[in-house]
Amino acid sequence: MSQFLIRALVEEDIAGADRLRQQAGWNQRPSDWLRLLRYQPNGCFVAESGGDIVGTVTTTSYERELGWIGMMLVDLSFQRRGIATALMTEALKFLDGTGIRCIKLDATPVGQHVYQRLGFETEWTFHRWTRTARRVAKPRAVNGSPIAFESGDLDRAAFGVCRQRYLDLLRPEARLVADNDGFGMLRSGQNADYLGPVTAESPEAASRIVSKLLPQTENEVYWDIPGPNVAAAKLARSLGFEPARDLTRMWTGSKLLQPDISLQYALADPGTG
């Protein structure tokens, strides 16, 4: 069995970490790694063996109420050697040390059994919805939006805690539509553009926001919709999206944080909620 070392992720590791992301076929880009590292520089970890990055995990904390675990990756040739469990243990230790009461993650079918062994329980299941690439009449530039906005009480209710600081880091990479009834973002990914987060006070507001964002891309689009939000799934289907991938939201901790999912029409990223 190969020996490995668990240590903090640093910026110089991003190329090695992204190799694992490419191996898994996930949609994130190097800029996503950098944002996660800048948001929580002491809470991202790698497994290293022989000088190579063979595993990764990240954490994202929202106030003292909610912690998120993401980017749980292990090199295919190093799986079933305890690396995933060791990385998860390090991430949980870090979050527990900050006093966070609820820790969540979005699990792939492959990773779900690992998290169950560590005490995670299922909260709900959900789908990634996709729409194939298509031409639009007047595609707009894909630069990040300069619009300043405050996510406010609506997003706090939808997500359960304030995530303004994380959204501030995400916003320069995204096209943003925001009004008094909610907001939404669309950004580029490695495999497809990604719609989310979208927070809206009603299905009509969500439809208006999404319908302003989608014409800004000709690319394939991914849209991760919380399972309990039936209105969001109905909207996605009406716009030509189809469910393509199963995921499971899981949690552990002393108290389950229960946000208002009826206001949450798209996730920001499975790695951050």
- Six-digit token pair at 150? 């405050």
Helix pair angle (30-39, 14-24), 10° resolution: 120
pLDDT of amino acid 142: 41
Mean pLDDT, rounded, for 151-156: 94
The whole-number average pLDDT for the span 175-199 is: 97
The 3-state DSSP class for residue 81 equals: coil
Residues 6+ apart with CB under 8 A from 241: 129, 130, 131, 221, 223
Residue extents of the structural domains in the chain: 5-100, 128-266
pLDDT digits (tens, 9 = 90+) for 199-252: 999 999 999 999 999 999 999 999 999 999 999 999 999 999 999 999 999 999
pLDDT at 109 over 70: yes
| DSSP class of 111 | T
3-state secondary structure of 146: coil
Q: What local confidence, expressed as pLDDT, does residue 135 receive?
A: 73
Q: Is pLDDT at 31 greater than 90 in this prediction?
A: yes
Q: Alpha helix locations (H) across 1-68?
A: 14-24, 30-39
Instruction: For residue 151, give the amino acid letter.
Output: S
Q: What would the mean pLDDT of 27-52 be, rounded to a whole number?
A: 97
Domains 5-100 and 128-266 fall in the same CATH topology: yes
Residue 149 pLDDT > 90, yes or no?
Answer: no
Work out the average pLDDT over 170-180.
95
pLDDT at res. 148: 63
Q: Which two tokens stand for residue 164?
A: 């303004």
| Residue in 225, 223, 24, 27 with CA at minimum distance from that of residue 110 | 24
Is residue 128 a contact partner of residue 271, using CB atoms and an 8 Å limit? no
The pLDDT, as a whole number, for residue 2 is 62
Mean model confidence pLDDT for the chain: 94
- Cα–Cα distance for residue pair 92/100, rounded to 1 Å: 10
Judged by DSSP in three states, 259 sits in coil
Average pLDDT over every residue of 135-163: 74
CA distance 218 to 213: 11
Q: Which of these, 89, 115, 90, lies nearest to 104 by C-alpha position?
A: 115
Band of pLDDT at residue 145, cut at 50, 70 and 90: low
Within 10 A of 235 (CB to CB), how many other CB atoms are there?
Answer: 24
Q: Which residue has the higher pLDDT, 111 or 239?
A: 239
CATH topology for 128-266? Answer: Aminopeptidase (3.40.630)
Class of 5-100 per CATH? alpha beta
95's enclosing H/E stretch is helix 83-97
pLDDT tens across 68-106, in order? Answer: 999 999 999 999 899 999 999 999 999 999 999 999 999
Q: Does the pLDDT value for residue 140 go beyond 70? A: no
Q: How much is the pLDDT for 252?
A: 97
Q: Residue 177 forms beta bridges with which residues?
A: 184
Q: pLDDT-derived band of residue 55, with 50, 70 and 90 as boundaries?
A: very high
